[in-house]
Amino acid sequence: MTLTPSILATAYRLACFLFLRVIPSPILQSVIPALLSLYLLSVSLSSKPARGNANPAAAVIFSLKTPSRVIKMTNIAINSLLFVCFLDLSISPYFDDAGDVVFSRIGALSDSSAKVLVRYPKLNETIHLVWRESRPNTAWSKGPTLVLEEENDWVDTVTLSGLWPSTNYEYALAGTNSSLLAYPASPLSFRTFPDPNLSNGNSHFRFVASSCILPNFPYAPLQSRRIKGFDLLADYLFPSQNVVNATYGHNTTEAPQPDPQSKHSLPASFLLFLGDFIYADIPIYFGNHRDNFRRLYRRNYQSPSFKKIYERLPLFQIYDDHEFLNNYAGAGNDSIQPYPGASDAFQIYSGRANPSPPSSTKSLDHVPAYFDFRYGDVAFFVLDTRRYRSFPTDSSEEKTMLGEDQLSRLLTWLGKANNTATFKFIVSSVPLTSLWGHDAQYDSWAGFVNEKNTLLNALHTVPNVFVLSGDRHEFAAIQFAAPAESTFAVTEFSTSPLSMFYIPFYRTLSMQSSETITKTHTKEVIYNASTDATAAATPEDKATISSEGVASDTGSESAMIEESEPVVFKTEFITEEVPKEQVFKYIPDGNYKWSSIEIDTRDSQRPTLKLEVVIDGKPSYHYEVVGKPVNLQQSTALGAFVTSNMKDILKKIGMQPSKWF
């Protein structure tokens, strides 16, 4: 009985620690105030004075009852401070709403265009973009006018077009009298993608992929605007902090160049952000109104950590569940809450800055969030795995993650990319592998078996396919074995979080699937009939032993060999069972993770992909793979692939549509 307050206080402190440093779970969010109230209640009820003197350290750690006033005050201070931290993490997102944040960033780039997103609230004048090539003595050109209205949270996205490929540009903002505005203080730079017509088999670039950020988690006092993962990423990408030293209206320096001393002299071309950019429901869900979502996007842009990235690195971005709610499924019905408010905020701050949807999109008010783009001879398809996905309660045969339209577009794209792109990246916010347990069994592709198999079968017919995913707050590299001869393995890299919790000790990833596939491969051996032994054949053996199985250098010798040593050269068939899915690298720990992927297709016979996984700022894993050479064709010859009927697409790639359709 006398120990009750101590137990409650210790439980309260433990819950605070878990909430602030390990996982900001909504359960702890409600448990913490309850534990504190119970503790205070139990203290007020137990009026018995303390007997004897506890060890002071124990008295502080376990909140033991003590006659010492100093220890009492220490305990009150600790418990109060913890509660202040708890409130800071929970509700500072509501009060620090970043309403005045001014920012700009580059979104989608191509060989000839750039999308520019600008927020400039409550201006009384009309402003427009000015832009120029990043060369000395180049005059500004007047760019598009921005429509900044409260309805769109003072944000607009405009497109600069007619640009040269592989060229450095810079832009700034100008008012009605053409004087530059206070922001950006110096022009922001970007570089257009290479000309796809010239870059067949000639790309060399790097990009970064990750997902999941929550400002100031793990929690530190007085840091509510910090997103440490972006600080680490900025140190990694721009090690010399090469600040562009230019003032508005004057000569500017060239676009920022990376430090040549750095190990990574190849600058990153863009960041692929795979979702959970905001956590609408963690720790507190403030409701379905669009303002509750917009506020969280603004807060990220207000972060000085993120600013170091978005002012220098183009961003392609898709949502995952926490832009809506945990494990969100939209079921293709845009009227169901919280889709309207959540998607309004996503479109304003991310969606409109992504590559534009195909012009053949069904209706104007149905703008898909999924998109595809190319960098030289490398093609990317970024999936929307949330808006169209069936409810988890739907029957498993009919369940879809992508919806029919998106799946058919993806397969059409795959058919085109098959022989117009050397590497193909499928970007999926949730993992394709079924090896993660826990809620991944229904929230990732594991819960969509039919659709996953259809997709995977198609992917296996295409060389050099890589899947990029996030969501699990762990890193894993997974191989999906090629199911048959003349098909290809598929590799997945799942990387997260960029700046959020990871769960220590508790592991749910299986290292391989129990499902296997039978692989048959051939092996050339030398069989010696007299000894009944086989040995591996070397190229020299092949030269001296004829295809009939008899050595045939000269007539007489050959006959001798035939009699004395009946050596036969033959092909053996070897079958083995291999797991369908197999993990070949697993790094669960770390609050800050990203993958840097370098592509080099300059040698068309040896296209390579180099992966560097960075954990907590330190390069922690390297993987290099040489892809299959691809005989690239110009995309104009591809009319034949374009069809909207999924059954046709599946037939074209040699698949029998299952009864699923």
Ligand X SMILES: *[C@@H]1O[C@H](CO)[C@@H](O)[C@H](O)[C@H]1NC(C)=O
Q: Binding ligand X by CB under 6 A: which of 88, 111, 377, 443?
A: 111
Structure tokens at 97: 């709403």
Q: Using alpha carbons, select from 519, 510, 491, 521 the residue that is nearest to residue 578.
A: 519
Binding status of residue 484 toward ligand X by CB under 6 A: no
Q: Binding ligand X by CB under 6 A: which of 144, 175, 340, 549?
A: 175
Provide the 10 A C-beta neighbour count for residue 302.
19
403 vs 588 by CB, closer to ligand X: 403
φ, ψ (nearest 5 deg) of residue 186: -130, 155
Q: Using alpha carbons, select from 627, 628, 611 the residue that is nearest to residue 619.
A: 611
342 vs 458 by CB, closer to ligand X: 458
The piece of 244-252, 499-507, 531-539, 566-574 that touches ligand X (CB under 6 A) is: 244-252
Q: Binding ligand X by CB under 6 A: which of 208, 379, 382, 462?
A: 462
What is the nearest approach in angstroms of ligand X to the Cβ of residue 586? 30
Q: Would the CA dihedral through 579, 584, 589, 593 be positive or negative?
A: negative
What is the nearest approach in angstroms of ligand X to the Cβ of residue 329? 13
Q: Binding ligand X by CB under 6 A: which of 461, 491, 513, 596?
A: 461
φ, ψ (nearest 5 deg) of residue 512: -155, 160
Type and span of the H or E element at 493: strand 490-495
Residues within window 260-289 making contact with ligand X, judged by CB under 6 A: none
Residues within window 392-421 making contact with ligand X, judged by CB under 6 A: 414-415, 418
Residues 6+ apart with CB under 8 A from 643: 412, 649, 652
What is the nearest approach in angstroms of ligand X to the Cβ of residue 250? 5
Q: Binding ligand X by CB under 6 A: which of 47, 137, 514, 530?
A: 137
What is the nearest approach in angstroms of ligand X to the Cβ of residue 650? 9
166 vs 396 by CB, closer to ligand X: 166
Question: Residue 643 and residue 649: Cα distance in Å, rounded?
Answer: 7
The piece of 310-318, 423-431, 455-463, 622-630 that touches ligand X (CB under 6 A) is: 455-463
Binding status of residue 162 toward ligand X by CB under 6 A: no
Question: Residue 389 and residue 584: Cα distance in Å, rounded?
Answer: 29
Binding status of residue 542 toward ligand X by CB under 6 A: no
The piece of 210-218, 396-404, 458-466, 622-630 that touches ligand X (CB under 6 A) is: 458-466
Binding status of residue 315 toward ligand X by CB under 6 A: no
The piece of 456-464, 534-542, 585-593, 620-628 that touches ligand X (CB under 6 A) is: 456-464
Binding status of residue 251 toward ligand X by CB under 6 A: yes
Number of residues that bind ligand X (CB under 6 A): 29
Q: Binding ligand X by CB under 6 A: which of 195, 405, 524, 648?
A: 195
193 vs 316 by CB, closer to ligand X: 193
Binding status of residue 245 toward ligand X by CB under 6 A: yes
38 vs 655 by CB, closer to ligand X: 655
The piece of 9-17, 328-336, 356-364, 507-515 that touches ligand X (CB under 6 A) is: 328-336
Half-sphere exposure of 568 (CA within 13 A, CB side): 12
Binding status of residue 124 toward ligand X by CB under 6 A: yes
Q: Would the CA dihedral through 225, 227, 231, 233 be positive or negative?
A: negative
- DSSP E strands, 87-176: 103-109, 114-119, 128-133, 141-145, 155-160, 168-174
Cα 47 from chain centroid? Answer: 56
Tell me if residue 574 falls in helix, strand or coil: strand
Q: Binding ligand X by CB under 6 A: which of 81, 91, 336, 559?
A: 336
Structure tokens at 300: 């990220």
Cα–Cα distances in angstroms (integers) from residue 164 to residues 64, 195, 485, in the given order: 72, 8, 43
Q: Using alpha carbons, select from 621, 623, 618 the residue that is nearest to residue 592.
A: 618
What is the nearest approach in angstroms of ligand X to the Cβ of residue 340? 10
The piece of 33-41, 61-69, 119-127, 560-568 that touches ligand X (CB under 6 A) is: 119-127
What is the nearest approach in angstroms of ligand X to the Cβ of residue 228? 24
For the chain, the C-alpha Rg in angstroms (whole number) is 30
Binding status of residue 197 toward ligand X by CB under 6 A: yes
Binding status of residue 363 toward ligand X by CB under 6 A: no
Binding status of residue 147 toward ligand X by CB under 6 A: no
Question: Residue 599 and residue 37: Cα distance in Å, rounded?
Answer: 57
What is the nearest approach in angstroms of ligand X to the Cβ of residue 462? 5
Question: Residue 586 and residue 512: Cα distance in Å, rounded?
Answer: 12
Binding status of residue 372 toward ligand X by CB under 6 A: no
Tell me if residue 652 falls in helix, strand or coil: helix
The piece of 83-91, 171-179, 507-515, 572-580 that touches ligand X (CB under 6 A) is: 171-179
Tell me if residue 578 falls in helix, strand or coil: strand
Q: Binding ligand X by CB under 6 A: which of 335, 360, 571, 575?
A: 335
Q: Using alpha carbons, select from 38, 28, 43, 7 the residue that is nearest to residue 85.
A: 28
What is the nearest approach in angstroms of ligand X to the Cβ of residue 177? 4
Q: Binding ligand X by CB under 6 A: which of 84, 243, 533, 535?
A: 243
Question: Residue 615 and residue 587: Cα distance in Å, rounded?
Answer: 9
Binding status of residue 341 toward ligand X by CB under 6 A: no
What is the nearest approach in angstroms of ligand X to the Cβ of residue 197? 4
Residues within window 25-84 making contact with ligand X, judged by CB under 6 A: none
Please state the three-class secondary structure of 494-562 as a single string.
EECCCECCCCCCCCCECCECCCEEEEEEEEEEEEECCCCEEEECCHHHHHHECCCCCECCCHHHHHHHH
Which 8-state DSSP code applies to residue 50? P
Binding status of residue 122 toward ligand X by CB under 6 A: yes
Residues within window 603-642 making contact with ligand X, judged by CB under 6 A: 636
Type and span of the H or E element at 585: strand 581-587
What is the nearest approach in angstroms of ligand X to the Cβ of residue 9? 46
Q: Binding ligand X by CB under 6 A: which of 49, 52, 136, 260?
A: 136
Residues 6+ apart with CB under 8 A from 216: 89, 223, 224, 225, 226, 227
Which positions touch ligand X (CB under 6 A)?
111-112, 122, 124-125, 136-137, 165, 175, 177, 179, 195, 197, 243, 245, 250-251, 333, 335-336, 414-415, 418, 458, 461-462, 636, 653-654
